Chains A and B, each alone.
Chain A
Amino acid sequence: MMNRIFTWAARRILGRADHLALSSEMEELYQYRLARDGKHAADRWLRRERRRAVGHLAGIRAADLPDPEPPQPLTTTPTLRLRETMYNMIRELRSSLRGLARTPIFALTIIATLAIGIGGATAVFSVINAVLLEPLPYPESSELVRISNHARGQDWVFSVADYLALEEQQTRFEGVAAMAWNRATYASGEATERMLVHSATPSFFSLLDLRPEYGRTFTAEEGEPGAPSSALVSWGFWNREMDGDPAALGRTIRLDGQDVTVIGVLPRRAGPLLADAEVVTALQLAPPARKGPFFLVALGRLGEGVAPASAAAELRTINERIFPLWQDSWPDQETTWAMTGLKEYVVGDVGATLLIVLGAATFVLLMVCVNSASLLLARLMDRRRELAVRTALGATRGQLMRHLLTESALLSIVGAGAGLLVTVSGIRLVTAFGADFIPRTNEVGLTGPVLLFFAVAATASLVLFGLFPSLRGTGAGVARDLRESGHGAGTVRSASRTRGLLVAGQFAVSVPLIVGGGLLLASLTKLANVDPGFDADRVLTMNVAVPNDRYPSAGELSEFWRSLLTEVRSLPGVEEAGVGTGRPPSEYPFTNNFVLEDQPLAPGETQPTVPWVVASPEYFHALGSPLVAGRMFDRTLDDPDPDFIVLVDRAWATRFYDSPEGALGRRFRAGGCTGDDCAWFRVVGVMENVKYSGLNGTSQGVVYMNADQAPNRNSFLVVRAAPDQDPLGFIPMVRNLIRQAEVEAAISRVASGDDLLRADLRVPRYLAILVGSFGAISLLLAVVGIYGIMAYYVRQHRRDIGIRLALGGEPGNVIGLVLKNGLGLVAWGVTAGLVGAVILTRFMDTLLFGVEPTDPYVLGASLGTMALVAIAACWGPARRAARVPPREVLAEE
């Protein structure tokens, strides 16, 4: 240290040549003394000599010295000046590097935290940018809207009746289009697979201005009912299944047992509406007999200069106009038509979540800066004598700033570089794993705005953590530090106060993160403990779809399923096998509306709607869902019955008849059918509740129809393995049986019961982990901060503490004093943070399950954890304070 100051001072005061001469001559004398007095004495002399030299150098005035040697006859060309500047910069850089290399832990801590802070925030921003900020990848996308049915705060899709009326009567839109999201079975000759096959009206492509990569889009004729089927295939499908051959246009592929002509190839990036679609077929809409079913996503492009309000008004008018036409099958007068921006529809409610995560990431970045600033400030206080000497030797404030800023710039540049790596891996993670619950993830990347955000974040952190301590470290107080021997000098006191504020701020920032993470964790635990209504152990499920052209009659189809189930059941180690169109905890094929025979509705009243599942009798046994009341399906009794025989679940029974027994024998009509020739559905049994709308969903009741009576081409096979058997072990055997029974059957979405439960918890788990780790990081940073400041406090007050102890003060009291000091800071921060937490967590309401944002246990546990951690962090310095040896401290003076 002294050596560095000496070098610096000598060069500055004496000039380069004399600095060299003096150093060299000192070295010469050192060698002489080494030979004469031995190493120990010579080393001591050298240290003394350097210290004295600094004093002498500081004591002289420039006026006392001859003018430095006439500078070499330099012609100061810009190149030379540049070289001079470069030389100075490199010298500063090297000196900073040396300084940092001496304190590697300090440097690495700052670099690592900066990388996490900057990289994390940028990665989150890259997602927000792609999902929320970037317009949809369609030209003039702000004019695009999604049109839906709307009632009681909920939006739902259009029916064919709705869409045809809209298409015919609207005047405010440049165009409208509809699409339906479906799965279909694709048979290639070698294999059969189930894939996403959407269908769209011919107007869909012109509305979005989506041009095919090859070929063409649908003509109006191809959208007419009865026209030959045609399709566009995705870029991926075309490359995989058709070898990327443009000549493949015009060929046919087999979808659901039908020949479909390929007329075009979608572009590689087809936009979020078709993101996962493999094939898009022409949607052919025939005039319907009744209002339902509802399955069409309707889109519109607002006409030139049309105010959204007037378009919305027209939508309501059309809906009122057609209401009387369909009143029989849809008597709900509350339902109206509404429109939302297409982007809001695509993004959905993920926006709020993303903003919360961005908030968390920004908080962490802020804390990282604060912490780095605090660390730098602490180091600065250790170096204040060096800085004071430099000031005394005539270094201007600007030069000191340059010196300190070089150091922080170096740290933040390396930190930001590492942050870029964190960003890239973050983006990889999101695009790999986030696609299931974040829309538009394939648009996430290191785009211009993201790099801009990165640059701003990096610069802002440099300013925050570099400039601030530099200003602090070079202020007027520095000169005083040289004269006073260090105790309680002005700079130290005010710098300590600043650090105290920073540390309190850190605790303030980490409270909302910890509380938020705690709430999400509590809600995850609640979710994981929800009874899914089925016994997930030993269960294997898979989707099996039979092509449309096989088993034309219901009898043949149910015979197919029955024989398949018999085969599967006969496998050794299989306990039971059944089929059903739903799969707990979050899949059901559709909902249906109905009117109870004994609870008729007044005109205009809304019919209740519940999930509708078609299942074989063994399905319930295979899932482990028991019968609560009444009886199971029984074809000998059911087939001759004029009514459709159904089962309901406990939730349905208690919703309408207060008890399971009360529901037995009740009848209803379904699907908006109200005429006298409509079929009755009769309840003969009540099953225990099974979750179909997610573990966090509340059951409104479920209706089960008998798969033997109303078989479905597309069902889930549910297999229960015998005890001690691994359900996943049956996959190859079951696959073989299905293939033998029907070679064209498509098998997909194979999962064990545990897989299903895990999948349903994935989003809440990701969120809890994400916010929780932000919270943990922030707490860690805050702890490092409080530890640092208390350790410094003890070092600063060593003398006072020593005196106190010498005068008979109890070590316990000293510990108490230090703890009080540290925890006082923490208390201020936490109080401020609590206010923030109460405000912020209110926005998390929709993400929570079974936990209130102000849950006292979570709040208590979060604060308790923080208090414990803070006490632990202050304990070390406090103990050290109590062990200060009074005699030594006093002798030091």
Chain B
Amino acid sequence: MSRDTLGEFEHMVLLAILRLGGEAYSVPIVLELEERTGREVAQAAVFIAMKRLEKKELLTSRMDDHAVKETGRVRRYFQLTEAGREKLRETREALVSLWDGISTQLDRA
């Protein structure tokens, strides 16, 4: 397990991939994020974040050779690794334990 914690954006990207079935490329991820957060997301930022996560071994990637042949489009698909899923779990637990018992306070304030 890595000592690094996830940045917010990285966290969101990983969740989006998970929502899209554990493997996705930048276009659906951007749309997913925009739909869920209501904010415009820079595609290059998503792409670069995933490259960074790949370096941290939370993602692996492959070029989609099929798409190149079929449509002439080049796509890089990123897939959650086991370490990635573990990281998400860890982060969720940390956040849940932090949130424990304070959501009512926040809503009242």
Contact = CB atoms under 8 A, between A and B. Distances in A.
Interface stretch (A19-27, A391-399, A481-489, A596-604): A19-27
Helix, strand, loop or mixed for chain A's interface? helix
A66 B55 contact: yes
**CB-CB nearest 6 A-B residue pairs:** A53-B44, A24-B74, A21-B76, A52-B42, A66-B55, A25-B26
A60 B42 CA distance: 15
Given A20-B74, A22-B26, A64 B44 contact: no
A92 B31 CA distance: 37
A672 B6 CA distance: 119
Contacts of B63: 17, 21
A65 B42 contact: no
A14 interface: yes
A43 to B, nearest CB: 15
Contacts of A21: 47, 63, 74-76
B48 interface: yes
A49 B55 CA distance: 24
Interface string A180-194: 000000000000000
B51 A53 contact: no
Contacts of A32: 27, 31
A639 interface: no
A24 B75 contact: yes
B45 interface: yes
A56 interface: yes
Interface in A398-452: none
B5 interface: no
A501 interface: no
Nearest to A61: B52
B52 A64 contact: yes
A29 B43 contact: yes
Contacts of A28: 27, 73, 75
Interface string B72-102: 0111100000000000000000000000000
B79 to A, nearest CB: 14
A65 B51 contact: yes
Contacts of B40: 45
Given A14-B51, A18-B51, A66-B55, A25 B27 contact: yes
Contacts of B26: 22, 25, 29
B108 to A, nearest CB: 38
A852 B30 CA distance: 82
B51 to A, nearest CB: 5
A311 interface: no
Contacts of A52: 42, 44-45
A26 B30 CA distance: 10
Q: Name the residue among A24, A27, A29 with the largest chain B CB count within 10 angstroms.
A: A24
Contact of A25 (B47, B48, B51): B47
Contacts of A164: none
Interface of A: 10, 14, 17-18, 20-29, 32, 45, 49, 52-53, 56-57, 60, 64-66
Interface of B: 25-27, 30-31, 40, 42-45, 47-48, 51-52, 54-55, 63, 73-76
Given A22-B26, A22-B47, 19 more contacts: A21-B63, A21-B76, A22-B43, A24-B73, A25-B26, A26-B44, A27-B73, A28-B27, A28-B73, A28-B75, A32-B27, A32-B31, A52-B45, A53-B42, A53-B43, A53-B44, A57-B48, A64-B52, A65-B55
Residue from B42, B44, B48, B52 with most neighbouring chain A CB atoms (10 Å): B44
Given A22-B26, A25-B75, A56-B48, A66 B43 contact: no
A22 B52 CA distance: 14
A15 B55 CA distance: 15
24 contacts: A17-B63, A18-B47, A18-B76, A20-B74, A21-B76, A22-B26, A22-B43, A22-B44, A24-B74, A24-B75, A25-B26, A25-B43, A25-B73, A25-B74, A26-B44, A28-B75, A52-B42, A52-B45, A56-B42, A57-B48, A60-B48, A66-B51, A66-B54, A66-B55
Contacts of A66: 51, 54-55
A27 B75 CA distance: 11
A60 B52 CA distance: 9
B31 to A, nearest CB: 7
Most buried by A among B40, B43, B75, B76: B43
B43 to A, nearest CB: 6
Contact of B52 (A24, A27, A65): A65
A872 B68 CA distance: 61
Contact of A29 (B30, B45, B55, B76): B30
Nearest to B74: A24
Nearest to A50: B44
Contacts of A17: 63
Contacts of B42: 49, 52-53, 56
A389 to B, nearest CB: 15
Contacts of B44: 10, 22, 26, 49, 52-53, 56-57
Contacts of B47: 18, 21-22, 25
Contacts of B27: 25, 28-29, 32
Contacts of A26: 43-44
B54 to A, nearest CB: 5
Most buried by A among B25, B31, B45: B45
With a 10 A CB-CB cut-off, give which of B31, B40, B48 has the most chain A CB atoms.
Answer: B48
B55 A56 contact: no
Contacts of A64: 51-52, 55
A671 B47 CA distance: 107
Nearest to A52: B42
A27 B27 CA distance: 10
Contact of A56 (B25, B45, B75): B45
Nearest to A9: B44
Contacts of A24: 73-75
Nearest to B25: A25
Contacts of B73: 24-25, 27-28
Contacts of B74: 20-21, 23-25
Contacts of A49: 42-44
A23 to B, nearest CB: 8
B57 to A, nearest CB: 9
B35 to A, nearest CB: 12
Contacts of B48: 14, 56-57, 60, 65
Nearest to A14: B51
Contacts of A23: 74
B94 to A, nearest CB: 23
Contacts of A60: 48, 52
Contacts of B55: 64-66
A21 B52 CA distance: 16
B48 to A, nearest CB: 5
Nearest to B55: A66
Contacts of B31: 29, 32
Nearest to B53: A66
A57 B45 CA distance: 8
Nearest to B72: A24
Most buried by B among A18, A25, A27: A25
Contacts of A56: 42, 44-45, 48
A18 B47 CA distance: 9
A32 B43 CA distance: 13
A18 B26 CA distance: 12
Q: Which of A20, A60, A66 has the most CB of B within 10 A?
A: A66
Contacts of A45: 40
Contacts of A25: 25-27, 43, 47, 73-76
Contacts of B54: 66
Nearest to A17: B63
Contacts of B76: 18, 21-22, 25
Nearest to A53: B44
B47 to A, nearest CB: 5
Contacts of A22: 26, 43-44, 47, 76
Contacts of B30: 29
A29 B48 CA distance: 16
